[in-house]
Amino acid sequence: MKAIKARNLSITYNGKPALTDVSFELDEGRTLLLLGPNGAGKTTLLRTIACFHREYTGELSVFSREPCNARELIGYVPQSHSLNEKVPLTALEVVAMGGIYKRGFVHFKIPPEILEKAESALEFVGLGGVGNRLFRELSGGQKQRVLLARALMSDPRLLLLDEPLAALDPSARAEVTNVLDRIKKEKGVTMVITTHDINPLLEIGDLVMLINKRLIAFGRPEEVLVDEVIKSVYGPMARVIPAGGKIYCITGDFHIHSGGGER
Ligand SMILES: Nc1ncnc2c1ncn2[C@@H]1O[C@H](COP(=O)(O)OP(=O)(O)OP(=O)(O)O)[C@@H](O)[C@H]1O
Ligand SMILES: [Mg+2]
């Protein structure tokens, strides 16, 4: 089963091209790392797959359905999470919200079966003890894991993660990467993960896609992460260094957003 199929996919905003003529396929159960510099179209592609953005031409299907008919199969974790931290929600409430929104009704009291499911989702991400703590008071790595637990509430078959490791220190990155690995191995969820720094994710990525307003390369990490390809996007200083059976990719790329730099 193909989790995602794109053929000659071109995505625009008010007629202005953001990503042009992209074709690829992703088998169910695989993890795809989506790499590219600022403005490359990574978020745009994820949002189009998730049916948040609909201005495109060409073919795009998710589990053989139009993206907007596959929404209940998709979990989406946005780039800078859109939770209003002024509202003092507990971690458990944030997770439980993932089970409520998908059902399309508004609640003032969270049903017990959803609370129970939220508790086991928190346990799955290694945060069994923090349910009653305020979300806004958690560390960056804990927050990211809470958001993963929230995305798991709808039992997605495809999880779209926009820069889940951005702004995390190395130990928090390792915690989040471990959870992603468990989601892949124990739940068999297909994942697309965007990132500026591919190195911490290489262990869990089956495939790498490099884009820069168009498709530059798609394939296994050792096919895509070669000097020639990396330099064509990131310039002559970029390179790939093999080290102890692994590859390490230096792009000189930083995670920069208009709201201020990170890392
Ligand atoms: N809502 C929008 N309206 C108009 N143009 C947009 C919108 N969102 C993104 N774009 C444009 O589409 C292009 C791709 O942006 P996108 O956010 O997908 O890049 P990205 O690869 O996710 O970058 P980053 O690494 O900074 O997150 C950019 O030129 C951007 O200006
Ligand atoms: Mg982005």
Give the model confidence (pLDDT) of 201-225 as tens digits. Answer: 999 999 999 999 999 999 999 999 9
- Mean local confidence (pLDDT), 195-199: 90
Q: Is pLDDT above 50 for 260?
A: no
Closest ligand to residue 41's CA: 1
Give the model confidence (pLDDT) of 53-109 as tens digits. Answer: 999 999 999 999 999 999 999 999 987 666 777 788 899 999 998 887 655 555 567
Strand partners, 11: 19, 56
Answer whether 43 contacts ligand 1 (Cβ < 6 A): yes
Strand partners, 32: 192, 207
Give me the pLDDT at residue 32, please: 98
Closest-CA residue, ligand 1 atom 16, reads 41
CB 3 within 8 A of CB 158: yes
Q: Is pLDDT above 70 for 259?
A: no
Give me the pLDDT at residue 254, please: 59
Cα–Cα distance, 210 to 226 (Å, whole number): 11
Give me the pLDDT at residue 263, please: 35
Give the pTM.
Answer: 0.92
Answer whether 13 contacts ligand 1 (Cβ < 6 A): yes
- Best residue for ligand 1 mutational test, from 11, 12, 22, 42 (most atoms within 8 Å of Cβ): 42
Strand partners, 75: 159
- Mean local confidence (pLDDT), 116-142: 95
Instruction: Work out the mean pLDDT of the chain and round it to a whole number.
Output: 91
Q: Which domains does the chain have, with CATH numbers?
A: 2-86+157-261 (3.40.50.300)
